[in-house]
Amino acid sequence: KTIDSLGDLRGKRVLVRSDFNVPLDGTTITDDGRIRAALPTLTRLVEAGARVVVTAHLGRPKGTPDPRYSLAPVAARLGELLGQDVALAEDLVGASAQSTVAGLADGQVALLENVRFDARETSKVDAEREELAGELARLADAFVSDGFGVVHRKQASVYDVAQVLPAAAGDLVLKEVESLSRATTDPERPYAVVLGGSKVSDKLGVIANLLTKADRLLIGGGMVFTFLAAQGHSVGSSLLEEDQIDTVRGYLEQAEANGVEIVLPTDIVAADAFAADAPHTTVAADAIPDGKMGLDIGPDAGALFAAKLADARTIAWNGPMGVFEFEAFAGGTRAVAQGIVDATANGAFSIVGGGDSAAAVRRLGFDEAGFSHISTGGGASLELLEGKELPGLTVLA
């Protein structure tokens, strides 16, 4: 159901769940991509004359107020981007929230304090979540689910409240689902997927599913060392999940049986330590010396990956290739991003998913317009790629 299904919203109180889980350095937002991505829905509701009440989480506080996770910096940034003051209620459903909502004029936006300051939000007990959802619902006449990054969470402000109020998917959620569906449902081939990030164990489900869906799987990031170890290579002191080696061996066998090409790096940038200024050298991927730690895929691997992307028609990318925050180890991520931009210019449909890869794209200076879709979802986009049903989406159907 879309926002249109909610009818005339002038003067109506609309509760919007957004994903404002942005990276912070103290109280400074270092990447406001998720706030900007929320603007189409919020602007649309403002223009429709709704009284907009936004609920969101920041970080993983322990179900009790914690000033380190206050949404105050988000309220300030959102106000700048919307061009109106955004009041921040001091609580979620208490006296401050109620008076803030009561004070809204048509077309005004307010933000409720971090929804995860209330332990009921993430409770596994249905009745507890439902109780909070009921209290949230009393603040509004309708609900718009627009926090794509949290639709994989069965939480009160994502799932339960959608069962109490007339509910609709916001524009961001619709756009994300449409784009990701192009990869998950009958992708145009060749379909190439680039996976990085530190841990294999975070990606087990998605790898298993892609072994039945993708034509090529390009692996980089910290997780690649478990793949190299599974092939019998030494990985020095690189990140290694020994308990996943057998699983990865199974993946390699299954890939061969399914005709899925697994592309691993041919060279690695290996450093003496995990530091921006650590001495480093490029070594063959099948012989990382003892004491050296792989922090990026090497230049040959970058060129190989770009070549494997060049003729792809659908590309999904999740997870950086190396420690891109340090310039010395950003080359692999840059090569993959450029390869995807070039393939997109040649007509491929490309999706960048996962908070880190999206942040990498922006931080490395790439124009977001060079990619078909940059997802705001980390876990949510991975779970869609994995073929799972997401509670925050099924509840809107």
Neighbours of 192 (CB within 10 A): 29
The yes-or-no answer on residue 34 being catalytic is yes
Nearer to ligand 3PG, 19 or 215 (CB): 19
Nearer to ligand 3PG, 220 or 378 (CB): 378
Residue 205, annotated as binding a ligand: no
Cα angle: 178, vertex 182, 183; to 5 degrees: 125
Structure tokens at 135: 């209290």
CA distance 231 to 253: 11
Catalytic residue among 154, 199, 249, 363, which?
199
Cα–Cα distances in Å, from 183 out to 180, 190, 227, 230, 350? 5, 11, 24, 28, 9
Q: Hey, CA dihedral for 47, 48, 49, 53, is it positive or negative?
A: negative
Structure tokens at 318: 């999740």
Residue 99, annotated as binding a ligand: no
Give the residue, chosen from 10, 60, 62, 189, that forms a contact with ligand 3PG under the rule CB under 6 A: 60
Catalytic residue among 236, 322, 331, 379, which?
379
Contact string (CB under 6 A) for ligand 3PG, positions 199-228, x = contact: ------------------------------
172 interacts with ligand 3PG by CB under 6 A: no
* Piece of the chain touching ligand 3PG by CB under 6 A; list 75-83, 147-155, 245-253, 312-320: 147-155
Show the 3-state SS of the chain.
CEHHHHCCCCCCEEEEECCCCCCEECCEECCCHHHHHCHHHHHHHHHCCCEEEEECCCCCCCCCCCHHHCCHHHHHHHHHHHCCCCEECCCCCCHHHHHHHHCCCCCCEEECCCHHHCHHHHCCCHHHHHHHHHHHHCCCCEEEECCHHHCCCCCHHHHHHHHCCCEEECHHHHHHHHHHHHHHCCCCCCEEEEECCCCCCCCHHHHHHHCCCCCEEEECCCCHHHHHHHCCCEECCCCCCHHHHHHHHHHHHHHHHHCCEEECCCEEEEECCCCCCCCEEEEECCEECCCCEEEEECHHHHHHHHHHHHCCCEEEEECCCCCCCCHHHCHHHHHHHHHHHHHHHCCCEEEEECHHHHHHHHHCCCCHHHCCEECCCCHHHHHHHCCCCCHHHHCCC
* Piece of the chain touching ligand 3PG by CB under 6 A; list 2-10, 146-154, 231-239, 343-351: 146-154
Catalytic residue among 355, 377, 378, 392, which?
355
The yes-or-no answer on residue 7 being catalytic is no
149 interacts with ligand 3PG by CB under 6 A: yes
Nearer to ligand 3PG, 21 or 357 (CB): 21
User: Length of the chain, please?
Assistant: 397
Residues in the interface with ligand 3PG (CB under 6 A) total 9
Residue nearest to ligand 3PG (CB): 21
The yes-or-no answer on residue 222 being catalytic is no
Residue 325, annotated as binding a ligand: yes
Residue 357, annotated as binding a ligand: yes
CA distance 359 to 369: 14
Give the residue, chosen from 355, 361, 392, 393, that forms a contact with ligand 3PG under the rule CB under 6 A: 355
Residue 21, annotated as binding a ligand: yes
Residue 203, annotated as binding a ligand: yes
Nearer to ligand 3PG, 119 or 307 (CB): 119
Nearer to ligand 3PG, 171 or 383 (CB): 383
120 interacts with ligand 3PG by CB under 6 A: no
The yes-or-no answer on residue 377 being catalytic is no
Nearer to ligand 3PG, 51 or 152 (CB): 152
Residue 318, annotated as binding a ligand: no
169: β partners = 2, 145
Residue 116, annotated as binding a ligand: yes
Residue 20, annotated as binding a ligand: yes
Contact string (CB under 6 A) for ligand 3PG, positions 10-49, x = contact: ---------x-x----------------------------
322 interacts with ligand 3PG by CB under 6 A: no
Nearer to ligand 3PG, 176 or 215 (CB): 176
Catalytic residue among 34, 51, 77, 129, which?
34
Contact string (CB under 6 A) for ligand 3PG, positions 361-390, x = contact: -----------------xx-----------
Query: Which residues are designated catalytic?
Result: 34, 199, 355, 379
Residues of this chain that bind ligand 3PG (CB under 6 A): 19, 21, 60, 149-150, 153, 355, 378-379
Known binding positions for ATP = 203, 294, 325, 354-357
